[in-house]
Amino acid sequence: MKFPKDFMIGYSSSPFQFEAGIPGSEDPNSDWWVWVHDPENTAAGLVSGDLPENGPGYWNLYKNDHDLAEKLGVNTIRVGVEWSRIFPKPTFNVKVPVERDENGSIVHVDVDDKAVERLDELANKEAVNHYVEMYKDWVERGRKLILNLYHWPLPLWLHNPIMVRRMGPDRAPSGWLNEESVVEFAKYAAYIAWKMGELPVMWSTMNEPNVVYEQGYMFVKGGFPPGYLSFEAADKARRNMIQAHARAYDNIKRFSKKPVGLIYAFQWFELLEGPAEVFDKFKSSKLYYFTDIVSKGSSIINAEYRRDLANRLDWLGVNYYSRLVYKIVDDKPIILHGYGFLCTPGGISPAENPCSDFGWEVYPEGLYLLLKELYNRYGVDLIVTENGVSDSRDALRPAYLVSHVYSVWKAVNEGIPVKGYLHWSLTDNYEWAQGFRQKFGLVMVDFKTKKRYLRPSALVFREIATHNGIPDELQHLTLIQ
Ligand SMILES: OC[C@@H]1[C@@H](O)[C@H](O)[C@@H](O)c2[nH]c(CCc3ccccc3)c[n+]21
């Protein structure tokens, strides 16, 4: 079972979860930083109390991890740049032309050469140069880099989550709830494309915008900032993030010819029983809303076509971990516990699939079904930009890895243009509100010594990467045929 010769195999990471760990690498200027250090959040059990400054230390140890990645046969990594490191101070004063339509939507932001030069004066040059140094180290090994501009933290001057939680979004810097975030994001995106355009083979504007507004304003028990329950706020954040993606897309294109995509949190939505047409409508409105709009310009809910939002998806990053299982009762979708993300940690689902330490059901079939559905819906190149399992004993991961790679291979073999498989992740890292208790690494990290240790799955991964597919002698591990 071989992939095409230029197939991308590797891992994904994010700045906030991997960079800090060695003294001097801290970035205290983001909403997530203050959020996980907030004593009230810790006392309330919203966050774990673990701190990112005790993390894997990629900011300083990047050469070691790149060496390790090479040894494991990695040819591509998806990484990020932290907005709050680049612009620790507000960029509002760099004025750029903004055009609105009759409804006040931001349809155009024009960040030109003069504007990026002025942003360059505001930028934290030490951070900029360090990112260039880190990522050049990888690219100069003749390997590929995919650069994602936003993976959840916002600069404090844009979003103060403690103030929002205490005083409400109208009397605090409210992040994605405020339309100015659209303009500031477009400026930040343009600046990075101008400054680092030579490094990546492809761009992504955002990682999982849906998780940011769902966890921040709806499922507020998950411990995401600002933990402010409001469906209206979730809607507003979603609207602004859609616009921010589109305006960033336009401005990256001014400074770079590389493809610009979006990395999104998908689950396989499975219907156990009930009318399929009701379920498909539900899926379109829930799962495909954001990507429908940035590819087709409209969605099942927003039928009004937005030319300024359409055709802004050169490629689609698919983050897949598990499924969500529903039944339809009186035309209403009811989610079934025990399956998918609602499984019991360390338990077994009703379908007899094992569940991870995080309580996520192992369901590799879902990745194949999802890739097929996404290609039929959007017709763009796909990359599995995240897939992995929280598994401290490495008991599930060998079969999890081979089975999901098999699902990708099956899709590729049917002509679906999946261009890569990036595992989540190379090393253990800081799992947001969960801190260090979830272990997603192929490689274990001793967070006291920062030493890295290969889990057995790292060797399984190496066999797959160096073989560029699943070697015959590993096919017994796949849970699916
Ligand atoms: O939870 C593992 C990883 C995170 O470490 C990544 O930063 C994030 O991109 C990511 N997304 C998902 C799937 C969606 C999800 C997010 C948060 C909580 C539960 C599910 C899993 N993960």
- Segment 39-50, tens digit of pLDDT: 999 999 999 999
Instruction: Find, among 125, 137, 123, 124, the residue nearest to 60 by Cα.
Output: 137
Distances 159 to 40, 80, 235 between C-alpha atoms, Å: 18, 19, 17
Which two tokens mark 457? 């799955």
pLDDT at 481: 83
Spatial distance between the Cα atoms of 233 and 169, rounded to a whole number of angstroms: 9
The Cα–Cα gap between 458 and 71 comes to 10
Distance 359 CA to ligand 1 centre (A): 13
Q: Does the annotation count 386 as an active-site position?
A: yes
Bridge partner list, 144: 76
Residue of higher predicted confidence among 232 and 165: 232
Cβ(391)–Cβ(359) under 8 Å?
no
Q: What is this structure's pTM? A: 0.98
Q: Determine the CATH number of domain 8-477.
A: 3.20.20.80
Match 């035309």 to its residue by tokens. 331
Residue 63 pLDDT grade (very low, low, confident, very high; cuts 50, 70, 90): very high
Using the Cα atoms of residue 98, residue 101, residue 102 and residue 104 in order, give the sign of their dihedral. Answer: negative
pLDDT tens sequence across 242-265: 999 999 999 999 999 999 999 999
**146-182 pLDDT, tens digit each:** 999 999 999 999 999 999 989 999 999 999 999 999 9
What are the backbone dihedrals phi and psi of residue 167, each rounded to the nearest 5 degrees, phi first? Answer: -115, 0
Q: Which atom of ligand 1 is nearest to the CA of 432?
A: 5
Average pLDDT of the residues in 218-236: 97
Residue tagged active-site, from 386, 414, 431, 473: 386
SS3 417: coil
- pLDDT the model gives residue 414: 98
Residue keyed to tokens 């992939």? 3
Give the residue, by CA position, lying nearest to ligand 1 atom 2.
Answer: 431
Residue nearest to atom 12 of ligand 1 (CA): 265
Give me ligand 1 centre to Cα 424, in Å: 9
What atom of ligand 1 comes closest to residue 263's alpha carbon? 9
pLDDT over 70, % of the chain: 100
Average per-residue pLDDT for the chain:
97
Q: How far is CA 362 from the centre of its chain?
A: 20
Question: Region 2-30: what's the mean pLDDT?
Answer: 98
Contacts of 120 (CB under 8 A, 6+ apart): 191, 195
Q: How many CB atoms lie within 10 A of CB 1?
A: 19
Percent of the chain with pLDDT over 90: 98
- 3-state class (DSSP) for residue 109: strand
Report the distance separating Cα 99 and Cα 80, nearest Å.
29
- Alpha carbon nearest to ligand 1 atom 1, residue: 431
* Nearest protein Cα to ligand 1, atom 11: 265
Q: Is 302 a residue whose pLDDT tops 90?
A: no
Q: Tell me the residue type at 310.
A: A
Query: DSSP character for 125?
Result: H
Please report, in angstroms and rounded to a whole number, the separation of the first and last CA atoms in the chain: 12
Q: Whose CA is nearest to atom 17 of ligand 1?
A: 211
Ligand 1 atom at minimal distance to the Cα of residue 152: 7
Going from the Cα of 211 to the center of ligand 1, the distance in angstroms, rounded, reads 8
**What confidence score (pLDDT) does residue 387 get?**
99
Q: Which is nearest to 421 in space by CA: 442, 436, 394, 435? A: 442
User: Which pLDDT score is estimated for 303?
Assistant: 85
Q: Cis peptide before 48, with omega less than 30 degrees from 0?
A: no
Tell how far the Cα of 96 is from the centroid of ligand 1, in angstroms: 34
357 with 439: CB under 8 angstroms?
yes
Measured between alpha carbons, how far is 131 from 153 in angstroms, rounded to an integer?
A: 17
Q: How far is the CA of 269 from the centre of ligand 1 (A)?
A: 17
Q: What residues pair up with 261 in beta bridges, in sequence order?
A: 204
Q: What is the mean pLDDT of residues 95-101?
A: 97
Residue 431: per-residue pLDDT: 98
Ligand 1 binding site (Cβ under 6 Å of any ligand atom): 14, 17, 207-208, 211, 265, 319, 321, 386, 424, 431, 440
Span 58-79, average pLDDT: 98
pLDDT of residue 93: 98
Task: Report how far apart, in Å, the C-alpha atoms of 220 and of each of 51, 223, 402 are.
Answer: 20, 6, 34
Residue with tokens 């003749």: 142
Distance CA 11, CA 144 (A): 11
Check residue 476 and give its pLDDT: 96
Q: What is the pLDDT of residues 412-466, one digit of tens each?
A: 999 999 999 999 999 999 999 999 999 999 999 999 999 999 999 999 999 999 9
Element (H, E) at 119: helix 113-122
CA distance 388 to 301: 32
* CB of 243 closer than 8 Å to CB of 101: no
Inter-residue contact 405 to 8 (CB < 8 Å) = no
- Read off the tokens for 24: 């001097």
The closest of 182, 196, 184 to 256, measured between CA atoms, is 196
Q: Does residue 301 have a pLDDT over 90?
A: no
The tens digit of pLDDT for each residue in 334-387 reads: 999 999 999 999 999 999 999 999 999 999 999 999 999 999 999 999 999 999
